[in-house]
Amino acid sequence: MKTTIVLATVLLACTTTPAAAGLSGQERKVAAAVDGQQDWAVAILEQLVNVNSGTLNLAGVTRVAAQLRPEFESLGFTVVWKDMAATGRAGHLIATHVGRRGAKRLLLIGHMDTVFEPDSPFQTFVRKGDLANGPGASDDKGGVVVMLTALRAMRAAGVLRDANVEVVLTGDEEDAGAPLADAREDLIAAGRRADVALDFEGLVVLDGHDMGSVARRSVGDYVITTQGVTAHSSGIFSQDVGDGAIFELARILAAFRAELPEPNLTFNIGVMAGGARAAFNADATGASAAGKTNIIPGAAVANGDFRALTQEQAQRVRRKMEAIVAHHAPGTTAQIVFGDSYPPMAPTPGNRALLTRLNLINADLGLAAMPELDPLQRGAGDISFVAQDVDGLVGLGTASTGDHTPAETVDLRSINRQGKRAALLMYRLSRE
């Protein structure tokens, strides 16, 4: 870690509710400025949601960026659009605010794309009282609105001017472009410049409690291919023919299930096929196979992913998978090929110290302390690309249900709650 936030006393080590110190007069102005923006926040959220920005809708992602550019420019940010056509994606919006020399440098992370492409029937924002249903209403257009709400409140209270803030809104978080190193080059560089990273993806609420997120697991794809001797089925398992490609694939998957499980690790097979011939389609979202019951299969394929909490765990599990695949059944061969992966964001002491800081703010706002979220409750995300270089927190966006489905529904009340938390945390950090 380049920077670790250290508290003289870790106030939450032995208690779930930190001692309240109360908000300063300046901080009360920040909180009041958040409260005054609810109508604006809902209105701009509706505008953003009603523009389809599925990851592969490059024009739609670009339109969302065009909507957001003046919002950041009006706050004194210098805004740059980074075209990412070379990776097959639209681009990233990068906004920079230069504040007081020597103040902490804050990196704010969000994304403009959604999982809903133009052919989805789920396209519009529908408000239902304090709730709103729509594609990306929470993930992550709601998070971007929280980010803007917090920054606008800081400006209104006169405290944004001293803050050094860099915003990176990616256009391909839901389906990253390739090569991944190029798709995340700008974000990684921003992380190396920062002292703190704050990720504005959704707030997780469990049993009525807002949760604090200090970790995200990695995600890595892999493809397994197996080969066997094609012959009449009467010769299966013989010395001359062996086990065939499908039994070899079954052996590998059974060994994964038996030998890989450990805390914080998950692994999955998404698609598989086998027969005399078997192959994936171009993007490995489907497969075709052909064969007969009396022919020993000569080919089998499977793809999947695995998720780990630390880099060490990911590397160890990968070595175990490679060893299992290399131990072939008679008459067969097999290979495993790993694709690009999102790195993990491990639960470091620096990340936990940030959550402690956030819980002090919760106490001052009269809100309950946020317990640490089990990382199994979150997927992979962009902040993981900077986690090796800077301390961070996840989940500063809106509370919601049904994300990534047509039931995606955001709790509009959470915009104010999260806006206050984010604005006050940024204000306190920017004074250091």
Is the per-residue pLDDT at 1 higher than 70?
Answer: no
Is residue 102 a contact partner of residue 198, using CB atoms and an 8 Å limit? no
pLDDT of residue 283: 79
Is the per-residue pLDDT at 13 higher than 80?
Answer: no
pLDDT band at 21 (very low <50, low <70, confident <90, very high): low
pLDDT tens per residue, range 172-208: 999 999 999 999 999 999 999 999 999 999 999 999 9
| Residue type present at position 212 | G
Is the per-residue pLDDT at 18 higher than 70?
Answer: no
What is the mean pLDDT of the segment spanning 261-274? 97
Is the per-residue pLDDT at 16 higher than 50?
Answer: no
222: helix, strand or coil: strand
Is the per-residue pLDDT at 165 higher than 90?
Answer: yes
Taking residue 413's Cβ as centre, other Cβ atoms within 10 Å add up to 14
H or E element, residue 358: helix 349-365
291: helix, strand or coil: coil
Q: Which two tokens stand for residue 249?
A: 């694939």
Is the per-residue pLDDT at 14 higher than 90?
Answer: no
The runs of H, that is alpha helices, within 102-213 are 141-156, 180-183, 185-193
pLDDT tens per residue, range 208-258: 999 999 999 999 999 999 999 999 999 999 999 999 999 999 999 999 999
Which residues make Cβ contacts (< 8 Å) with residue 250, sequence separation at least 6? Answer: none
Is residue 93 a contact partner of residue 65, using CB atoms and an 8 Å limit? yes
What is the mean pLDDT of the segment spanning 110-122? 96
Is the per-residue pLDDT at 11 higher than 80?
Answer: no
pTM of the model: 0.89
Which residues make Cβ contacts (< 8 Å) with residue 231, sequence separation at least 6? Answer: 240, 241, 295, 296
pLDDT tens per residue, range 117-142: 999 999 999 999 999 999 999 999 99
pLDDT of residue 6: 42
Could you tell me what percent of the chain has a pLDDT over 90? Answer: 92
What is the mean pLDDT of the segment spanning 35-48? 97
87: DSSP letter? G
- Distance, in Å, from the CA atom of 112 to the CA atom of 175, rounded to the nearest integer, reads 12
Virtual torsion, Cα 321, 325, 327, 333, nearest 10 deg: -170
pLDDT band at 5 (very low <50, low <70, confident <90, very high): very low
pLDDT band at 36 (very low <50, low <70, confident <90, very high): very high
Residue of 408, 392, 358 whose CA lies nearest to 142: 408
pLDDT of residue 340: 82
Burial pattern 142-181, b for ≥16 Cβ within 10 A else e, equals bbbbbbbbbbbbbbbbebbeebbbbbbbbbbbbebbeebe
pLDDT of residue 284: 81
Domains annotated on the chain, with CATH: 25-216+345-430 (3.40.630.10), 219-342 (3.30.70.360)
Mean pLDDT across the chain, nearest whole number?
A: 94
What is the mean pLDDT of the segment spanning 380-409? 96
pLDDT tens per residue, range 280-297: 998 788 999 999 999 999
pLDDT of residue 15: 35
What is the mean pLDDT of the segment spanning 138-162? 97
